[in-house]
Structure 1
Amino acid sequence: MYIAHKREDGQLQLLEEHLKQVAILAKSFAEGFGAGDYAYVLGLAHDIGKYSAAFQEYLLKDGMGGDHSTAGAKELYRLQMFPASLCAAGHHTGLPDGGGPGDPSGMPTWQGRLKKQVAPYQEYQREITLHAVSHPQELNGFRIAFFTRMLFSALVDADFLDTEAFMNPVQRGGYDGIPVLFERLKHYIDPWLRHQETGNPINQKRTEILRCCLEAGKRERGLKSLTVPTGGGKTVSSLAFALQHAVQYGLNRIIYVIPYTSIIEQTARVFRKIVGIENVLEHHANVNFDPRGDIDPAAERFRLSTENWDAPIIVTTNVQFFESLFSNKSSQCRKLHNLANSVVVFDEAQMIPLDYLMPCVRAIGELVQEYGVTAVLCTATQPSLEKLFPKGISIQEIYPHFRELYPFFRRTEFVNIGRLSVIELADRMARQKQVLAIVDTRKQATELYQSLPEEGRFHLSTLMPPMMRRWTLRAICRRLKQGLPCRVAATSLIEAGVDVDFPTVYRAEAGLDSIIQAAGRCNREGKRPLEESIVYIYQPEGRVPPRIQPNVSIYKNEIQPNFVDSASPEAIQAYFDALHMLKGDRLDKKKVVEAFEKGRDGGMLPFAKVSEEFHLIDEDTKAIFIPLGQRAERLAKQLRSGLCSRGWMRKAGRYMVHVYEPHFQELYRAHDIEMITDGLAILTNLRLYDLGTGLSLEADLGKAFFV
C-alpha cells in the first residue's frame, strides 16, 4: 500500500487514488484547449516519486519527503512528452528554466534536474501505467512556452483540489450559470430597450450601441474591438456582448481586465447590481476576502475563487492578468486553464504598458488562436494594435459605425494655452468655482494644491493611500453635485474611469491618450454646452518627465500641427501608429518574446528568469504603512508582532504609500519610519503625513526627493 498524504487525524490517502483523481481533473481542465489526454498522463506521472521507499517511510513517520517531482519528469521525458516533463518537475517549486544539454546534475534547470539521481521509484509500475501521448500543438518557442504554462495550470489546480478534498474539504463553487446571468442582464436592460424611442438623444444612442453589442455577441468568436467614447455606456454594453456571446457558444466565464483599481471597483459595483453580488469576483491587491468573525461563507468562497478563478465573472487588473500569464509560480499559474473558452474584455486597452506591449499582444493572440478565447479591446481611444498581432488574426469592430459616435458624444473643446507656472495656474483655478487640474508629477500636485484657496481644495495622488483617496473622491463628488466650490489638483490617477464631472479641466502636456482621458472628466454628463466645457492644455514649468517625453513629442510635433481636431479618431490612430514606430524594440523591453523564441543565456524556455523580470509596474518602490485611525493602528500593532500574512497584506494595502528607494532611505536615516522588512516600513513621524496632501516627500532631516 503506497500513500500520497497523511492527515492529522491519521487518515491516509492512497497514492494510486491521488494520481488517478488528479489525472481525471487535469484532463477535464485541459480538454478546454484540446490537451485532455496529454494532461491525463501528466496527472498520473506527477507524483510517482512518492513510490520510493524513502518517501513512504518519511510520510508514515511524519518526516519530510524530499524531491518527489523529478521522477515524474524523468518518465515523461523518456516518453518524449517534454512540456509535461517540465510541468512535473516544477509542480511544487515552479516551472524551471529549460536550460541546455550541458547543464550538470544539481543545476535547478529542467536539464539539470533530469540528470539528478533520485531514490528508486519503479514500484509505480505495479499500480500506474504510462503511455506516450502526442503533443497537440505545433512546436515553436513562444507557443510551446504558453502551452506549457496552461498545462502546468491544469496540473497544479487538479493537484491542489484533490489534496484539499482529502486534507481539508471546503465548499467551492455554487455560482449561477452564464444563462442565468444573461437572463438577469436582459431583465436589467429591458426598460432601456422598450423605451428607446422616447428617451433623450444620448440615451437613444446608448441603447443603439447596446443593441448592436447584443447582435454582435451572436457572431463568430475571435478578436474584437469596442470603440465607444466616454458617455457611450460601454460598461453595460460590453457586458451585454460578453454574456450574449458566452451563451451563444457555451463559454465558461467572463473576465474583465482593467488597468486601475478605481475603475475595477466601479465596474464591479455595476456588474453586481446586474447579475448579483454573489457572482462577481473582484480580484486585486486592495480587496480583502478574509472571513469576518467565525464564519462568512461568501467571503470564504470568494477567497477560494481567487486561487483558480472558477467564478462566472471576474474583474481583475492588468498586473494580475498578464503577470500570471508570464509567471512560473504554481500559485499564479493555477488559474490560467480557466481562461480557456471564455470572453476576456480588456477595458482601457490603450493602458497596456508600451514596454511590455509585444509580449502582452502575443499572449492575447495565443488565447484567441489556441484556447477558444474571444478577446475584446474596449476603449474610447483604440490603440491601433492590429499590425502587432501575428498573421491570421484580424480585429473585428463590434460597433462598426464607431466613427460616427465621436461627434455625437463630443463634449469638450481643446485649447492650448502655452506655458503656465504653478502660481499662474492656481490663480486661473481660483477664479473658477469648480475646476480640475491634472499634472504629471506628485510634486506638482502638492505644490498646486498648496497654492489654491483653502475652501473646497483637494489633492489626489499616490502620496495618499488608497483608503484616503477613496474618502477624498467621495468628498469631491458630493461638492460637485451640491454646486459648492471644488478645486482639485491631481495626478493622472484620476484620468481612467473615475466618475467625476467638472466644467473645466487643465491638463499638463502629455500624450494624446492621456489628454483624451482627462477630457473624460470634463462635462462628463453632457449637461453643458460644448463651447463652455474647455480642456486647457498647458506647458508646465521644468522638464517633461522622461517616461512621457516621447508621448508629448508626438502630440506636439505630429498631432497638433496636422489635425484640426486632435481628439478625432483619425488623430488617435495617427498618434498610436507614431508611438509604436517610435518605441521600436522598446515594445518588448525585457525581450520576453525573444527569450522564448531563441532562448537566453544558452538555455531554452527560461520560465523562471522571465517570471522574475516580468513586472508591468516596473518601479523600484517600497511600501510605507500609514497608521492613521483605529483600524490602521490595529493593523500596525499586528505587523509589529510579526503578522504579515497574505490576508494582512490585503487589509494593510489600503493604508500604504509606495515611494522610490532614495526617499525611503532618507526617511529611514531620519528615523521617520520603522523598518519591518527590506521593502516595508511603518511611518512613525506622523507629522510627515498631511490629511490634504498625503505623505511628505521631505524627511525631517536630509534631502528631499520628488518623483
Structure 2
Amino acid sequence: MEDPIFAHSVEGQPVTEWETLEEHSLRVAKTAETMAASFGAGPAAAAVALLHDLGKAKPGFQRKLAGERNDVTHSAEGALRLAELGPLGLALRPAIAGHHGALPNPERLDRRLAAAADIPLPGWCAPSRPTVPTGFPHNRDTFSFSLQFFVRMIYSCLTDADDRETGAFYHEVDGKGLPSVPDRLSDDMRAAFNRHMRAVAGQATPSAINVLRAEVLEHALQSAQATPGLFTLTVPTGGGKTLASLGFGLEHAAQHGLRRIVYVVPYTSIVEQTASVFREVLGSDAVLEHHASFDDSAMNEDEREQRRSGTISWNRPVIVTTGVQFFESMFAARKRRCRKLHNLAQSVIILDEAQSLPLPFLRPCLAAIRELSGAYGASVVLCTATQPALTKSDGFPASEALQDVREIAPEPDRLYDVLKRVEVRNVGALSDSEVAERLLCVEQVLVIVDNRAQARRLFDAIREQPSARHLSTLMTAAHRRAVLQDVRALLAAGQPVRLVSTSLIEAGVDISFPRVLRAEAGIDSIAQAAGRCNRNGELGELGLVEVFAPEVDPPPAVKQFAETARRVMATTDDPLSRAAVTAYFRDLWDQYGPDALDAAEVAGLNGILHALAKCKGRVPYEDIEAAFRLIPDGQKSVVIRDGEYGIGSDELDKLRFRKPGTVARAFQPHTVSVPYSLWDALWQAGHLKWWEEGEFGPQFAMLEHLQDYDAQAGLGIVSGGMVI
C-alpha cells in the first residue's frame, strides 16, 4: 500500500489528522465547479481545481509539510498537465501557476513550466477536457478579450474555492465554525425594501416632487420584468435615483434568479452614504461596504473576520464599493484582487454617477461591462443625471459602444423639466478678487474651483468674515466632516455661510445653497455643482449657478472638459438639458478619439485592448494590472497629530505596539493625501518625521509642527508670506 500524499499538515498532530491531496483536491473541485456553474463553466473550473495542487506530490514538498525547510514549490506541475487538455487547457495554465500569488506574465510562466516536474496523475485525478460554456462570445475582434476574461473568472473560482476549503479544514481542526452570513438576495430583503418605501410614502408631505419620486420608483419596479442585460436610469438630482435603483435591483434579481447587487460609486464619501441608506433599509448583515478607508475600530474580532471574508470574495447580498475597486479588480493579476470576480456573474451591477467612468480607460471598462452582461448573466445599470453617450446610437466612436440599452426611468426629458431647480449662467472671466467680492455680496453661497491653491487664496481673501468656511482634500476626513456639519447647521438656521471648496464637494455631498459659483469645467461637473444648489427645491424658485473663467488655468485634466463645455454653453440656453449633455459628450469623444479612450501602455503597446489583440494568447496579466491604475501613484500620506483634527498623544501611545494594519486604520481619519511635490517640500523643510520608524519602518510620515496644519484650512507651508 502506497503512503498517502498530503496537501495540508497540522502542527503537533499525527499524519492521520492531516488532509490528503485527494481529499483537498476533490473538495476544491466540487466548490469551484459550483461557483463556475453560475456562468456555465463548472466542468472547466473542476478540471483546473483537480490539478491545482498536483505539485504537492513531489517528495520534497511532502518533506516540507513534515517540517523540512526547503524552497520546493508546487503550482507549476498542475499547469504543465493542464496543457495536455486541449487549447483551452493551454490558456488556463496561468490560473494554476498563479493560484498562490498572481496570474503570471508569459515569460514568468514559461520559466515556471520549464522547471516543473513531470508528475503522473493519481487514479482519483481524472480531469475532463475543459471547454468554453455555451454562449461564449466568439467574435473575432473581441475573442482575445473574452478569453482572458474567462481565464480570470476561472482563476477567481479556483482561488476562492481553494482558500475556502483550506480554511474549512483548519476550522474543523480547531473546532471553530465558519462565520454564517447571508450570501445572496432573498425575498425577505425585497419585503423589507417594500415596507421601508411604504413607510417613507406614508410620512412624506404631499408634493409634486414626492409624487414624481413615487412614479420613478414604480416605473423602475415595472422595468425589472425586462430580461437581464444593459440598462440606464436617467434621473436628475432629487428624483429618488438611489432607492429606485435599489428597488429595481431587488425586483430584477427576484424575477430572474440573480444573486446579488453590486453598487459601484466613484467616491468613498458616496460609498459610506449609500451603504448607510441600504443598511437602514435591508439590515446590516445584508450590506457589505468595501473601500480602503473603512473604519472597523468598533467591530469585534468575529465581525472583522466576517467583513474580511466578504471583501475578499464579495459573497454578500449587497456590495457597495468604489469604481477603483470594481474596475481594477477586473484587470488585476493578483489573487487577492481577482478572487471576488466570479461573484459578479448573475448579479445586478449598478454604476452610480456613470459619467465618472475614467476616460483613459473607458474602452476597456466598456468591454468589461459588455462581457459581464453578454457572457456572465449580469445586468448592468448606468445610473446618473448626465448619461455620458456611451451607446452606439449616441455615436460613441469605438466598437465597445453599448448596444440594446433600455431606459428604466419614465420619460427622462419630462423628469428633467419637472425637477429643474437651477438656472445656469455663464458670467465670463472673473479674477480672484472679483470672485471674493461676489462671495461677500451674498449671505449663503458656495464657490467651487478645481485648483487647491486657488481655493486657499479665495478662502484667505474672506477668512476674516465669521461666515467663511473652507473645504479641500488638504484637510483630514475628520476635519472635512466637521466643516460640513457646521455648514449644514448654518444653512438650516438661515445664517450667513460662505463656503470655498475644491470639487470634492461634488462627490455626492448632500448640501444645498441658494447660489453656487463654479469655475469652468465639464458639463457633468457643472451638473454636479448644480446638485448643491436648491437641491430640494426649498427656494420656491430657481437657484442660480454662475459659471466663470478663473484667473488661473484649470488643471490639464479639467482644461479640455472646460473648453468643450464652453462651446456647448454658447449654443444652448440650458447646458444641463439631456440634449446639451449628449452634445457635450459627443464633442468630447470626437476630440479624444478611440486611442485616447484606451491610453495605458502595456509592454510597449499603446492600449490594453490593443495589447490583448496582439498577444496571440500569451496574455501579459501582470503588465495589464500595472497599467490599469485609475489613481496614479502620485500621492503620499501625511498623518496629522494633535490639535483639533489630529490624532492625540494618548492614542498614539496605545498604538505603538499594535499591528501595522490597526495603526493604519486608526490614522485614516487624521491623514491627508498630498502630491509628491508638497510631501517633499514638507520633508525637506524638516516638517515630517517617520513615526516609530524602528517598529514600523518608513511607513507613517507624521507632521511635526502643529502650525503647518491650519484649523480652518488644513495643511500647508507658509513660505515668503504665501501658502504652498
| Bin of the TM-score, shorter chain as denominator length | over 0.9
Aligned match of 2:446 in 436, 439, 449? 436
Write the letter of the residue equivalent to 1:144.
L
Alignment partners' CA distance in 1, 2:658 and 2:511: 40
Instruction: Give the match for residue 356 of structure 1.
Output: 361
* 1:651 and 2:662 correspond: no
Aligned alpha-carbon RMSD (Å): 2.3
Which runs of structure 2 are paired with 1:576-615 in the superposition (5 Å)? 576-584=585-593, 585-590=595-600, 591-599=607-615, 604-615=618-629
Alignment partners' CA distance in 1, 2:652 and 2:551: 39
**CA deviation after TM superposition for structure 1 residue 638, in Å:** 7.0
Alignment partners' CA distance in 1, 2:276 and 2:369: 26
Alignment partners' CA distance in 1, 2:598 and 2:194: 42
Deviation string for 1:333-376 (max 9, x for gaps)?
Answer: 11111110000000000011111111111111110001111000
Write the letter of the residue equivalent to 1:401.
E
* 1:180 and 2:188 correspond: yes
Q: What's the secondary structure of 1:256's corresponding residue?
A: strand
Change (3 A) 1:64 1:488: farther
Q: Is the 8 A contact 2:363 2:400 kept in 1?
A: no
* 1:381 and 2:390 correspond: no
Q: What's the secondary structure of 1:604's corresponding residue?
A: coil
Alignment partners' CA distance in 2, 1:620 and 1:657: 13
Which runs of structure 2 are paired with 1:494-573 in the superposition (5 Å)? 494-531=505-542, 533-557=543-567, 559-573=568-582
Alignment partners' CA distance in 1, 2:250 and 2:159: 29
Deviation string for 1:545-587 (max 9, x for gaps)?
Answer: 2111111111112x12211211111000000111112111111
Which runs of structure 2 are paired with 1:682-697 in the superposition (5 Å)? 682-696=702-716
Instruction: Give the match for residue 624 of structure 1.
Output: 638
Which runs of structure 2 are paired with 1:476-495 in the superposition (5 Å)? 476-495=487-506
Alignment partners' CA distance in 1, 2:202 and 2:311: 38
Which runs of structure 2 are paired with 1:141-540 in the superposition (5 Å)? 141-168=144-171, 169=176, 171-175=178-182, 177-191=185-199, 199-289=206-296, 292=299, 295-387=300-392, 388=396, 390=400, 393-452=403-462, 453-531=464-542, 533-540=543-550
Q: Is the 8 A contact 2:391 2:401 kept in 1?
A: no
Identity %: 38
Write the letter of the residue equivalent to 1:442.
R
Q: Is the 8 A contact 1:242 1:343 kept in 2?
A: yes
Stretch of structure 1 that moved more, 320-329 or 675-684: 675-684
Q: Is the 8 A contact 1:259 1:351 kept in 2?
A: yes
Change (3 A) 1:298 1:641: closer
Q: What's the secondary structure of 2:102's corresponding residue?
A: coil
Which runs of structure 2 are paired with 1:66-81 in the superposition (5 Å)? 66-80=72-86, 81=89
Which runs of structure 2 are paired with 1:105-120 in the superposition (5 Å)? 108=108, 110-118=109-117
**CA deviation after TM superposition for structure 1 residue 57, in Å:** 0.8
**CA deviation after TM superposition for structure 1 residue 323, in Å:** 0.7
**CA deviation after TM superposition for structure 1 residue 185, in Å:** 0.6
Alignment partners' CA distance in 2, 1:235 and 1:210: 10
* 1:95 and 2:95 correspond: no
Q: What's the secondary structure of 2:406's corresponding residue?
A: strand
Deviation string for 1:88-121 (max 9, x for gaps)?
Answer: 011012001134xxxxxxxx2x233222243x53
Q: Is the 8 A contact 2:185 2:318 kept in 1?
A: no
Alignment partners' CA distance in 2, 1:170 and 1:441: 53
**CA deviation after TM superposition for structure 1 residue 192, in Å:** 5.6
Instruction: Give the match for residue 663 of structure 1.
Output: 678
Q: Is the 8 A contact 1:636 1:682 kept in 2?
A: no
**CA deviation after TM superposition for structure 1 residue 449, in Å:** 1.3
**CA deviation after TM superposition for structure 1 residue 627, in Å:** 2.1
**CA deviation after TM superposition for structure 1 residue 75, in Å:** 0.3
TM-score (norm 1): 0.92
**CA deviation after TM superposition for structure 1 residue 246, in Å:** 0.6
Q: What's the secondary structure of 1:627's corresponding residue?
A: coil
Instruction: Give the match for residue 130 of structure 1.
Output: 127
Alignment partners' CA distance in 2, 1:606 and 1:486: 53
Instruction: Give the match for residue 104 of structure 1.
Output: none
Equivalent pairs counted in the alignment come to 685
Q: What's the secondary structure of 2:619's corresponding residue?
A: strand
Instruction: Give the match for residue 66 of structure 2.
Output: 60
Q: Is the 8 A contact 1:290 1:299 kept in 2?
A: no
Q: Is the 8 A contact 1:622 1:679 kept in 2?
A: no
Alignment partners' CA distance in 2, 1:606 and 1:300: 33
Q: What's the secondary structure of 2:511's corresponding residue?
A: coil
Contiguous gaps of at least 5 residues in structure 1:
100-107
Alignment partners' CA distance in 1, 2:217 and 2:10: 53
Change (3 A) 1:43 1:573: same
Q: Is the 8 A contact 2:370 2:402 kept in 1?
A: no
Q: What's the secondary structure of 1:78's corresponding residue?
A: coil
Alignment partners' CA distance in 2, 1:641 and 1:193: 52
Alignment partners' CA distance in 2, 1:632 and 1:376: 44
Alignment partners' CA distance in 1, 2:403 and 2:348: 16
Alignment partners' CA distance in 2, 1:356 and 1:690: 37
Contiguous gaps of at least 5 residues in structure 2:
601-606
Alignment partners' CA distance in 1, 2:37 and 2:289: 27
**CA deviation after TM superposition for structure 1 residue 412, in Å:** 0.6
